[in-house]
Amino acid sequence: MGKGRAPCCDKSKVKKGPWSCEEDLRLIAFIQKHGHQNWRSLPKQAGLLRCGKSCRLRWINYLRPDVKRGNFTPQEEDTIVKLHQTLGNKWSKIASHLPGRTDNEIKNVWNTHLKKRVMKKLEGATSRSSSSSSTSVLLSHTDHTSKNVTEKEEATKSCSPTSSYNASSVSNLSQVHEISSGNVNIVDMDWIFQLMNEEPFPSGVIETPLECDVDFWDMLDIIGSSPPHPHPPPNSDYSKLDNHSDASCQGLSNELGV
């Protein structure tokens, strides 16, 4: 291990905060095309003003094709509680037992729901001087809160930057147009590349910064409308990107049937 630690990126030049649809698309498209051998250089090559770590997190937690979203099943929650008893806060280890679930998600669920539930049950059990402490006793699913959370989530975040489309459906974007969960039209990245009318991601660095990449915004605008249609160039003014982004997200949501 080294002495000091160089910052993973120049913090002054990276964007922070929630990811936009545009950024997600860029990341997905790049990884689909080139994979992610090097997270550090990925953002630069993909034309993202993000830290490599941030890209990795975004991919692992939300954009990965096999990531499972939505409420945890009672079985999953039971598994988490059981594994937590033996593994402690080893979220990645716990996650490895729950296909499609991420350590971050499990950590959140534990901290927000399961911990309280287990504590409550434990307290109840202690006050009743109960000798039983098995997880099956600890776990009662009658107050399954995650369902409400999910419903709320889907209602309120249908077009949020972080879940504007179903990331789990973005599997093999270049080929797959339907997924098993339904007939969902997936945005074909090759089609996007064609729209861009250029080699998707040249081996070198993409020089186009987000705020002036008119073609890219135009492309996204086209994605946001169904069917695709010629469209006047969108605003290149960064201050207007949010609105533009919302429109694109909404269109994208419709496009994907989310």
Q: Does 103 bind DNA (CB under 7 A)?
A: yes
Which of 44-52, 120-128, 189-197, 232-240 is the region at the interface with DNA (rule: CB under 7 A)?
A: 44-52
Spell 60-78 as b/e; 16+ CB within 10 A means b.
Answer: eebbbbebebebbeeebbb
For residue 3, state whether it binds DNA (rule: CB under 7 A): yes
Q: ∠72-173-187 over CA atoms, to 5°?
A: 95
- Does the footprint of DNA cover residue 77 (CB under 7 A)? no
Candidates 68, 93, 141, 144: give the one binding DNA (CB under 7 A).
93
Nearer to DNA among residue 10 and residue 199 (C-beta): 10
Q: Where are the beta strands (DSSP E) in 185-249?
A: none
Contact 223, 216 (CB under 8 A): no
Q: Rule CB under 7 A: is residue 145 a binding residue for DNA? A: yes
Residue 56 C-beta-side C-alpha neighbours within 13 Å: 10
Closer to DNA by Cβ: residue 9 or 196: 9
User: Distances from the Cα of 83 to the Cαs of 94, 165, 210, in angstroms?
Assistant: 6, 31, 43
Kindly identify the residues of this chain, within the stretch 159-188, that bind DNA according to CB under 7 A.
161-163
Q: Alpha-carbon distance 117 to 120, whole Å? A: 5
Tell me the per-residue interface mask from 110 to 139 with DNA, x by CB under 7 A, - otherwise. Answer: -xxx--x-----------------------
43 binds DNA (CB under 7 A): no
Instruction: State in angstroms the smallest separation of the CB of 131 from DNA.
Output: 29
- Binding flag, residue 35, DNA (CB under 7 A): no
Rg (CA), the chain: 21
C-alpha closest to that of 202 among 45, 54, 62, 91: 45
194 is a site residue for DNA (CB under 7 A): no
117/244 with CB nearer DNA: 117
What CA–CA distance (Å, rounded) separates 93 from 226?
Answer: 42
| 92 is a site residue for DNA (CB under 7 A) | yes
Contacting positions for DNA (CB under 7 A): 1-6, 8, 11, 15-19, 36-41, 50-54, 56-58, 61-62, 89-93, 103-105, 107-109, 111-113, 116, 145-146, 149-150, 152-153, 155-156, 161-163
